[in-house]
Structure 1
Amino acid sequence: MTYQTANISIEKSESTKINSVDFSKLDFGKVFTDHMFVCDFENGEWQEPKIMPYQAMTFEPSARVFHYGQAVFEGMKAYKDHEGKVFLFRPKQNFERINKSAERLSMPAFPENYFFEGLEELLKLDNDWIKPGLGNSLYIRPFVIATEPAISASPASMYRFMIICSPAQSYYNSPVRVLVAEHYSRSANGGVGAAKAAGNYAAQFYPTSLAQKEGFHQIIWTDADTHTYLEEAGTMNVFFRVNDTLITAPVSDRILDGITRKSIIQLAEDLGIKCDVRPVKVEEIKKAAKDGSLKEVFGAGTAAVISEISAFQHKEELFEISGAEDSYAKLFKQTLLNIQYNVSEDKHGWRRAVK
């Protein structure tokens, strides 16, 4: 069945894959819903958006994305409350950030009305894939790639904007152990670290694989110039609790402006918890670990929400973090989940209902 909304042509899938999915045993990002959103940029403008059955795509081998890496993406989630209502969490931030990322890679901005109408229509079609219950969600992946078939080293003139969705459970189920970077870097001054560029993540895979061979799950990245300042943990922003003060690095052109990160900073203010946003030295955190004032370390991001870190190693020194009974990580995670799942008051207007 095909029909039209104000801006979007919609082709509904003739069948659904949902009955073949075991929602109690989901591998993150490996199962996808029945539909996807597609919009092409050609002749200097975005064409008519479409929603169609999820399917493979065909590109020329010379498509610029394969050669020059013009690709950016976002990570979002849809949540369903106990009454079956669906909500997004601060989606305007994701929309603004994907366009900011696109600008940094010389890609065209995507129209706001297409983004939100397309996203909401997609979620209505695939509503049954959004399962209620804390920890259950629908992970949403908007992305843009350069599709022009040309291998000259310059920005493309053709792009494709897409949204695909994947049902998800809790991302990390147990605390993780991390290695502090001493050689490899996630990003550099003046680079694309603040953009959600696909290449940022590809560059992390090799050093992370080396850390995993040593028994660690992820890397805490340090500044590229001196490797003396702590910046991000894996694909997440990172927070340190020293005594009762929360500390996190400021955003810059090296550090992603995480939506979960800025939400935690606001929640800290709401809860009367002191939060220092400032450069964080590796030696400062090592000293706090040695004298017992380091109570918690945790990562924050859309996929994981909050991931507690149980140990870190730097220069062959291993520090175990016992955690605190009055865990800030658990408090922030529960507070965020309550807002996202429409359990508690949303005084900052972060929830957006999908009607």
Structure 2
Amino acid sequence: MAETLSISENLVAESNLPQVDFNNIPFGRVYTDHMFVADYVDGQWTDLRIEAYGNMSLSPANMALHYGQSIFEGMKAFKDADGNVLMFRPEENAKRLNRSAERMCMPSIPEEIFLSGLKRLLEIDGDWVPNLEGTALYIRPYMFAMDEYVGLKPSLNYRFMIFCCPVGAYYSQPVSVKVEEEYSRAASGGTGEAKAAGNYAGSLYPARLAQQQGYDQLIWTDSIEHKYIEEAGTMNLMFVMDGELYSPALSGTILPGITRASVLQVAEEWGVKVHVGRLAVETVIEAHRAGKLQEVFGVGTAVTVSSICRIGFRGEDFELDMENRELSQKIASYFESIRYGKQEDTHGWIEKV
């Protein structure tokens, strides 16, 4: 890579923005005008460019399609009252992408390329960041193998891309979850802590079975005993029991969520007693039976903070009191305030484009 970062630009003549109804945005189906692209060839990242969002040509023998070398990130950009575009801890997404890349035997991408490409893309498509309450611009950075070869080995060439889509809420209502005790999302020594595409493909069938039973999502448990809580498919999990906050520990099978880490830090600063460790399903169920399980909620980029209204476990449903969500609502309000620039960011987490 040259010493001076150079990004070429081939911009659209006419924006699609006037065609978008921001009052009715389906999640993940409307895309901004442009995307950022970089190619890894001969051991270096080259041809950094911003071009019109559109389809690309791939070989039928593309290795990502056959062997799954594909990783991604999820981020959001927000707009404050003055029209400034704000991002939440983007450098953490760059670091996590590179940790995923190492696990999947893929090259790291310099943070300068990740962040410079992202910022320039948001400068160009900044008008796409919605300013209605509860909306944001979802950002999808990802990398995948580009070699044309039907043989099991790491690819030599890769492509890194970023595209964006304006979105509303991922879950518009509190969600119901089922404890999964048959299928596993990840096993010790596997790829569970990487944000690898295959992790999500493997979760779809068990999630569909749960949806057929009337649940929105799963609570994944450990792959050995199916005894300990790990995460939900789209979010890390938090439990408030007897006024204290519990979160499953990062064990190599749980995605290290950036929102998760931020929530735990803020809760401790507020004086909430925080427990991070192994958390048995039975512990949560016993707390519910004893009237000590006050809140269950998920946290993540897509969902931010999502309340859980019902837990299904071994044929029995355990309802949560949706009138008693003091901590999760306080957390949701705080993160919304700093992400939209309504409140001072004392942690240095918000970056203005």
Calculate the TM-score normalised by the size of structure 2: 0.97
Q: Find out whether 1:211 has 2:210 as its counterpart.
A: yes
Partner of 2:298: 299
Equivalent pair of 2:5/2:113 in contact (CA under 8 Å): no
Counterpart secondary structure, 1:280: coil
Partner of 1:38: 37
Decide whether aligned partners of structure 1 residues 36 and 326 sit closer, same or farther in structure 2, where only a CA change above 3 A counts.
closer
Map of 1:24-173 to 2, 5 A cutoff? 24-173=23-172
Shift of 1:191: 0.4
Map of 1:247-286 to 2, 5 A cutoff? 247-286=246-285
Counterpart secondary structure, 1:247: strand
Percent of pairs identical after alignment?
Answer: 45
Partner of 1:183: 182
Equivalent pair of 1:295/1:324 in contact (CA under 8 Å): no
Shift of 1:6: 4.5
Which sections of structure 1, spanning at least 5 residues, go unmatched? none
> Which piece of structure 1 moves more, 164-173 or 63-72?
164-173
Q: Using the alignment, how far apart are the partners of 1:11 and 1:126 within structure 2?
A: 13
Counterpart secondary structure, 1:72: strand
Equivalent pair of 1:189/1:253 in contact (CA under 8 Å): yes
Shift of 1:45: 1.0
Shift of 1:8: 0.3
Q: Using the alignment, how far apart are the partners of 2:325 and 2:203 within structure 1?
A: 33
Measured on the aligned residues, the alpha-carbon RMSD in Å equals 1.0
Deviation by residue 1:143-177 (Cα, 9 ceiling, x = unmatched): 00101100110000010000000001121111111
Counterpart secondary structure, 2:237: strand
Equivalent pair of 1:40/1:160 in contact (CA under 8 Å): yes
Q: Using the alignment, how far apart are the partners of 1:140 and 1:66 within structure 2?
A: 22
Q: Using the alignment, how far apart are the partners of 1:307 and 1:101 within structure 2?
A: 25
Q: Using the alignment, how far apart are the partners of 2:223 and 2:341 within structure 1?
A: 41
Which amino acid is 1:230 matched to? I
Equivalent pair of 1:7/1:114 in contact (CA under 8 Å): no
Shift of 1:19: 1.2
Deviation by residue 1:48-93 (Cα, 9 ceiling, x = unmatched): 2000000100000001000000000000011110100111101110
Deviation by residue 1:80-132 (Cα, 9 ceiling, x = unmatched): 10100111101110000001001100000001111111111100111110012
Partner of 1:320: 319
Counterpart secondary structure, 1:47: strand
Which amino acid is 1:272 matched to? G
Structure 1 runs of 4+ aligned residues shifted over 6 Å read none
Map of 1:229-248 to 2, 5 A cutoff? 229-248=228-247
Partner of 2:6: 7
Shift of 1:327: 1.6
Equivalent pair of 2:311/2:318 in contact (CA under 8 Å): yes
Equivalent pair of 2:295/2:324 in contact (CA under 8 Å): no
Shift of 1:349: 0.4
Equivalent pair of 1:295/1:323 in contact (CA under 8 Å): no
Which sections of structure 2, spanning at least 5 residues, go unmatched? none
Counting matched residue pairs gives 350
Which amino acid is 1:320 matched to? E
Which amino acid is 2:328 matched to? A
